[in-house]
Structure 1
């Protein structure tokens, strides 16, 4: 004889589903963060492989003219020029906020100051980034990966109609996943959000777990697609001589000064470009065409001055350059980094900054070896410490810099000199009045946005007055 089941048993599955998928349920946020991490990792892997593919296709196209009497660098000029020009056009026409690294946009969105138009930003940042980086410009893919990850986080929160507080957590989770996948460094991705976005991030147990989950899942996806090796293959160093730690502190002090001037030059370069193009589309695109031509030629004639610089780090740390060559590369790469990033091209400054830090660190190590050979036996140690030094001084995120270098190079026994260098750089930069570069870039963006709104309002008012007078 069949008995009718009690009502509470019949409604149990429905009640469990409603309870699980309620907006305030932390379990939903964690599961969504895992999904965002998977998407951010897949997007970062696709972006990474896409850059390599576009770069290879460009070089194959240039090499196909090798039998002619025309030099290859001449062929590279129109090819790279068209690629960069198209990247600049896509950015200015469809999503101006996709220009640059995109990290200030994510920070502004977390504060509620900037909109997140993910339907526009994701395709523009992805394809614009492929073209800009593939053309040979001195830009990194890590900043774009952060912005792409953050926009994926906002996309998911919009689809699931997540409330404002939880949407901010998913935005941060996506950004952490993007950085973790780009550098194959989950701890650095987590710490970047907690440390760099400390004024915007809503510190709660659930939001912190969301960031952790996204970074872990993104890294797992990236390692499935690529491999589990460190991003940069360099010598594995043992613990340094304790008597040499004061030299690492001095190196940090030097980076504090360099980082301060680097940030000022970066902002000045952006102002210079704004003065030239005045936010007019075809002037902006013309700048892209010109830069593409320059970096197209450089990528053939002198590749050490082009590209992101990540592929240069093992050669620098391995001692393949003399002091004179290191100084020349450092100066020229500083110039190409400023010219590339300041232009507003869709690319980041993470990797170029790490390369510059490695260059100066190796220079410092060679000088230390010449002056104190008994305690500085391996100058390459200072190259590793230098990777995090300039980053810490410019971004003012020393813990992120320390973790980033350790995870990227697997030099875990270099943690003490890295801490000394990064903290020294941060202390000097702060003492001299330096401010985090992404904070300054966000403030600059907001000022320009307000000025454009005022100019637009003035223009409309003048048009209205002119119509009335007629």
Structure 2
């Protein structure tokens, strides 16, 4: 057989072996387009809401009203309205939304995209536009998953293919939030591994959806890295033990952080007891506090991505880094546990950067003979806290590299994230999103049991 004929036969054989329907791959591309548009619109709208808020407060301050009072009132009102919209029309849109997608992939949660999409977008605008310490990545993952379910419903695909489109939308959402396509793919494969159905068709859909969504976002927002910072050289080999130590510290802190999230949610639940008015009171109080910080401590508010470049170039001393770390830890827990639509990725990345930079600066002072670049520890800290809390080390490593364009730091990132994951696992920690999903399912089962008991008692009384 001639080489050309043999080559043609191999191509035909490969195509014949590929059982993926072309229509499904086209639907995955459509999911990517919709998810990319959702993410782009959400980011652009959020920036506009933030600008309007600042301009409005500045305008009214010209009339003699104290700026801090205006900020407190406006942010409290925006937060309360966001919570009212969320828990009145789509409670599943509260918080990050990632546990909801994980539950949907496991056929434990419905995806009511027709109500989640508008509530997640406008509720997110109000909460995050007011300065809440929340990230946009959770909403974009849920919006991407909703896009996948929307396309599956409209085109009436079967259950297995709908699962693939849902996963493709979730990956596309994370990819679009951080301009990190590979991290989006890894997040679904690694973090959602108990729910994701591994197979050639599913993998293809995830890859296509992620690539298309990222192209859409880059078309509107540009191709630059999400976080602009210096490109660091590879650290000296004799400093790698310090990265392992940093990872171990983050492993222990990651467990405390996850427990802090759960404890804060429990604290809120004891007060609001599922009553909407009580939720709004809590939200208004948290919003008022955040509004005050937007005037007197702006670095304690917002998602946190915006402060990372300044931290890594040494704009803050050790004392200020610790204060910001503690302050943002408190505001992160208060804002996220309130149930306002928003993610926790970005706040965690900021916390990891602050502590990592503090560790790197102290290490540089203690070991002056070593060639230590404190900024490299800040970048390693970003991935380490993510790995310890979410328990997805590969996603954390690739996410940080893609966000910062620091590809030469892959070795210290591997060491730090591996150390954080192993320590967290050894100490009995559990992945954050898995815990949140389990709590949601348990709360709903309890509410259903109480409703059935009440109905039974009512019927017994009537009889």
TM-score tier, shorter chain, comes to over 0.9
Alignment match, 1:17: none
Could you tell which deviates more after superposition, 453-462 or 391-400? 453-462
1:144-183 correspondence runs (5 A): 144-183=139-178
Aligned-pair CA distance for 1:25: 5.1
Identify unmatched segments of 5+ residues in structure 1.
1-23
1:282 aligns with 2:241: no
3-state secondary structure, aligned to 1:65 = helix
Write the distance in 1 (CA, Å) between the matches of 2:437 and 2:371.
41
1:392-407 correspondence runs (5 A): 392-407=387-402
Write the distance in 1 (CA, Å) between the matches of 2:245 and 2:371.
14
1:40 aligns with 2:35: yes
1:457 aligns with 2:452: yes
Write the distance in 1 (CA, Å) between the matches of 2:179 and 2:20.
30
Is this contact kept in 1: 2:31–2:148, CA < 8 A? yes
1:115 aligns with 2:119: no
Write the distance in 1 (CA, Å) between the matches of 2:287 and 2:330.
15
Alignment match, 1:6: none
1:224 aligns with 2:219: yes
Write the distance in 2 (CA, Å) between the matches of 1:71 and 1:319.
33
Aligned-pair CA distance for 1:77: 1.3
Is this contact kept in 1: 2:20–2:201, CA < 8 A? no
1:57-456 correspondence runs (5 A): 57-456=52-451
Write the distance in 1 (CA, Å) between the matches of 2:176 and 2:219.
11
Is this contact kept in 2: 1:368–1:376, CA < 8 A? no
Is this contact kept in 1: 2:235–2:373, CA < 8 A? no
Write the distance in 1 (CA, Å) between the matches of 2:391 and 2:220.
32
3-state secondary structure, aligned to 1:64 = helix
Q: Deviations over 1:372-394 (max 9, x none)?
A: 12224311110011110100000
3-state secondary structure, aligned to 1:307 = coil
Aligned-pair CA distance for 1:291: 1.6
Write the distance in 1 (CA, Å) between the matches of 2:105 and 2:21.
19
Q: Deviations over 1:145-185 (max 9, x none)?
A: 00000011001001111111111111000000000000000
- Large movers: runs of 4+ above 3 Å: none
Q: Deviations over 1:338-387 (max 9, x none)?
A: 00001111110000000000000001001110111222431111001111
Write the distance in 2 (CA, Å) between the matches of 1:407 and 1:276.
41
CA RMSD between the two structures: 1.0
Write the distance in 2 (CA, Å) between the matches of 1:44 and 1:259.
28
1:54 aligns with 2:46: no
Is this contact kept in 1: 2:360–2:372, CA < 8 A? no
Aligned-pair CA distance for 1:445: 0.6
Is this contact kept in 2: 1:143–1:349, CA < 8 A? yes
Write the distance in 1 (CA, Å) between the matches of 2:458 and 2:296.
52
Q: Deviations over 1:94-115 (max 9, x none)?
A: 1111001000000000001111
Number of residue pairs the alignment of both structures matches = 445
Write the distance in 2 (CA, Å) between the matches of 1:26 and 1:167.
13
Is this contact kept in 2: 1:365–1:376, CA < 8 A? no
Write the distance in 1 (CA, Å) between the matches of 2:318 and 2:177.
31
Aligned-pair CA distance for 1:30: 1.1
TM-score, normalization: structure 2?
0.95
Write the distance in 2 (CA, Å) between the matches of 1:122 and 1:328.
37
Q: Deviations over 1:385-410 (max 9, x none)?
A: 11101000000000000000000000
